[in-house]
Amino acid sequence: MTTATELLQRLAGRAVGVVGLGLIGGSLGLDLRKQGIAVHGWTHRQVTAERALARGLVDQASVHPQVLHGCALVLLALPLDQLVSPPPQLLEGLPGDALVMDMGSVKGPVLASMQHRLPRFVACHPMAGTANAGVEAGVAGLFAGRPWVITPSGQEDPEDLALARALGIALGATVLECDAASHDQAVALISHMPVLVSAALLHNAASGGAAALAQALASSGFADTTRIGGGNPQLGTLMARCNQDAVLAALESYQQQLEHLRFLVLSKDWQVLQEKLSAAQALRPDFL
């Protein structure tokens, strides 16, 4: 993990607040505490607060927002819908002088909902995860080597953007910056829309007369292709809901790509089909 010198200087001895102590919030807490930074957690349920303390995710944890008092930086590690439509008690509980950053996987709608409501806000998407959720899910080193995407709107204070970058660097992540719309388009292409593509494969394989045989014969290729389609349905729905425009655009262009391949099979144009599959093979390493 990269040195946290700049982050420590910018925090000037003050604590970092984390709202939500699931996979992302808990992992943030573990890594920050390792660097000698005090972490204060605000969570919804008392049992989560106690478990987060017991696991060493945070130094202090509470169901009351007062726990965030004095924090220089507050990280919102909450489900997307709470970022897009923040409950009043969330907004009221945030310390007015802190920089607030969200950790959500869609950026345009979060910026639109948060930036005019908070004096200091930076939108960020740490692209890391595991299949786990909840207070037991946080792990050390989750962000190391993963993209840490900051999507400035242009209204941020340069010092706040510098703190957002220093946090990503301190976590060992690769800091990237882009506008929110480009981010949302990109994640629709590589993550949100593929969930639907993958889920449709499962429904299709299970719906025909050959379903039982398909189950018996399915191998690792089908398992890989359907992994994200068989993932958390709440999360998949939230991503489609909070990134609707980009997901629809990605889905429509995808349907055209697939229809072109169908046309090649239908018209027995095996030469062009093979060229398309060769091109796909050549494209893939750029995405790994």
Question: Which 140-179 positions form the footprint of its own copies (CB under 8 A)?
Answer: 146-147, 149, 176, 178
Stretch that binds its own copies, among 21-29, 44-52, 63-71, 274-282 (CB under 8 A): 274-282
164-174: b (≥16 Cβ within 10 Å) or e: bbbbbbbbbbe
Q: What is each CA distance from 117 to 95, 97, 176, in whole angstroms?
A: 13, 13, 25
Site track 10-39 with its own copies (rule: CB under 8 A), x = hit: ------------------------------
By CB under 8 A, tell whether 231 contacts its own copies.
Answer: yes
Closest contact distance (angstroms) between CB of 248 and its own copies is: 6
By CB under 8 A, tell whether 232 contacts its own copies.
Answer: yes
By CB under 8 A, tell whether 288 contacts its own copies.
Answer: yes
- 30 vs 275: CA distance, rounded Å: 48
By CB under 8 A, tell whether 279 contacts its own copies.
Answer: yes
By CB under 8 A, tell whether 277 contacts its own copies.
Answer: yes
| Site residues (CB under 8 A) for its own copies, limited to 180-209 | 182-183, 185-187, 189-191, 194-209
Q: What is each CA distance from 164 to 42, 101, 152, 157, in whole angstroms?
A: 20, 8, 10, 11
Nearer to its own copies, 88 or 208 (CB): 208
